[in-house]
Amino acid sequence: MLTKRLWLILFIGIAVFYLWGLGSVPFVGPDEPRYAQVAREMLAHRELITPVLGGFPWFQKPVLLYWILMASYSVLGISEYAARLGPAICGLLIGAVVYWIGSSIETARRTRDASSKESETQREGLGRFSALIWLSSAGPLVFSRGVNFDILLTLALTGAFACFFVWHVRYGIPTNRKGINPASPALKYVLVGFYFFVGLSLLAKGLIGLIIAPGVIISYFLIRREWPSKKFLTSLLWGIPLTLAVAAIWYGPMINRHGLIFVNEFIVQQHFQRFLSNQYHHPQAFYFYIPVLAGLALPWTIFLVAAFVSSRRWHWRGASAVDRLRVFGFVWILAPVVFFSISQSKLPAYILPVLPAVALLVGERVTCFLRAQRGQRVLRLTGALLLLVVAIGGVFMHRRYGLSVAVIAIAVAPLVAVALIALARPQMGPALYVLIAVAMFVTSAFSLKAIAPAIARGQSVRDLLAAASSRGYDTAPLVQLHNV
């Protein structure tokens, strides 16, 4: 069993890793440099409301990411590291929120069954393992190291769902004959956070927060076939105005300043046209997000499948906190995936907000396996999957980017080692789950130094601009050709 001190050391090490090497790779793709430049121009013009690109208003995205980048630029200067620091911190904060949800479930469970004699790992493992699973999954490892809006939306929605669910389980449900929940009265104020974070999601990535947040909660109550508590329904009277007030911090001045131009370009074009048409050239099949979810959840994909398979034995209307968590995690994944599958425009990052729910369901499976001393088959399948992914990925990297076999072998060696351990010694217990996560971090660190630069060379113009500047063309006009 891992002691509290070892867990603390592990999470401190993970935090250091998340904040390390953020500037070692240049901005890649079209979006990272664009978003970084918008914040740079806003800072230069001392503009806090209107996003500016190339000296002109740019209405494609809301302002929260730009505010974070501007604050980082002001303290650290303008650089890749400063631009990526905010998203990296968001990734860590999401891990903390996931831990809070898991530990709150364990607290509710202990309160209900005070006579339980479970070990510390069994009693407190859900929060720790769920946070570890989030932090070590492929999706967070990638998107926490890039300038993007989706990690901010994920933080806002995770905060909203955490506040709602912790309030719902620990305060909003009557637990005695008098219809009263004797939990700490301070918990009733947690619901304020739900409405605040929904408002923050509107500043993070637009109106999608108004679709996902209500959609998940309504689906939760529908599947459980129960009505929301009177306390929650009453909270709508003050909660909806609070959400709108948070969003109005930016939407109000923008509408006042730009009027129908902003409404048309930001709300109509970037929301409705993007959802209903292929105007932005991101068409994919309806089932696109099934393999995407499997990839983003690596190396825990088999555990997610095991969680879905175990749903046949769930108590879908059960009163316990764990029963409720299972259903809530299920709809937290299902509702956004179905919604974005209907959309005519699909990108992998759109379903990033479901990964905290994946971490919670996988964490619940892991703690169940540890409690029952089972899970060896799932661990063996995980080892086999990791070997398959490493083999396919290694061949792809060698052929596509010309990386040497030696470099690839060194980078993936930790994953290969832990995969072989999972195949040979799946009965190792908690240590093996931690080793899987650590292997992901070590492989990511090697890849950041040895593989990522080769990938970035084909998706970044930094080296090209540096070469032009060294030849005296640093003040020449820059023209970009974009094929539609």
Give me the tens of pLDDT residue by residue for the chain, a chain 484 residues long.
567 889 999 999 999 999 999 999 999 988 999 999 999 999 999 999 999 999 999 999 999 999 999 999 999 999 999 999 999 999 999 999 999 999 999 888 776 655 444 544 444 589 999 999 999 999 999 999 999 999 999 999 999 999 999 999 987 665 554 444 555 666 778 999 999 999 999 999 999 999 999 999 999 999 999 999 999 999 999 999 999 999 999 999 999 999 999 999 999 988 888 888 777 667 788 899 999 999 999 999 999 999 999 999 999 999 899 999 999 999 999 999 999 999 988 999 999 999 999 999 999 999 999 988 899 999 999 999 999 999 999 999 999 888 899 999 999 999 999 999 999 999 988 999 999 999 999 999 999 998 988 888 877 777 777 777 778 777 777 776 655 4
**Domain boundaries in the chain?**
18-113+123-374, 375-456
Contact 250, 201 (CB under 8 A): no
Spatial separation of the C-alpha atoms in residues 222 and 114, rounded to whole Å = 31
The secondary structure element, H or E, covering residue 93 is: helix 80-112
Residue 53: strand pairing partners: 56
Contact 91, 144 (CB under 8 A): yes
Nearby residues of 272 by Cβ (< 8 Å), 6 or more positions away:
none
SS3 breakdown of the chain: % helix, strand, coil, rounded to 5? Answer: 75, 0, 25
Spatial separation of the C-alpha atoms in residues 452 and 448, rounded to whole Å = 5
pLDDT at position 171: 78
pLDDT at position 234: 94
Coil, strand or helix at 348: helix
pLDDT at position 21: 93
Spatial separation of the C-alpha atoms in residues 213 and 482, rounded to whole Å = 36
**Alpha helices by DSSP H, 373-429:** 376-401, 405-424
Of the candidates 431, 445, 429, 436, the residue with the CA atom closest to the CA atom of residue 383: 436
Contact 341, 351 (CB under 8 A): no
Token readout for 150 is 């989706």
Spatial separation of the C-alpha atoms in residues 70 and 77, rounded to whole Å = 9
Taking the model in full, what pTM does it have? 0.93
Opening angle at CA 160, ends 323 and 108, nearest 5 = 35
Of the candidates 264, 234, 113, 111, the residue with the CA atom closest to the CA atom of residue 184: 111
Contact 52, 45 (CB under 8 A): yes
pLDDT at position 140: 98
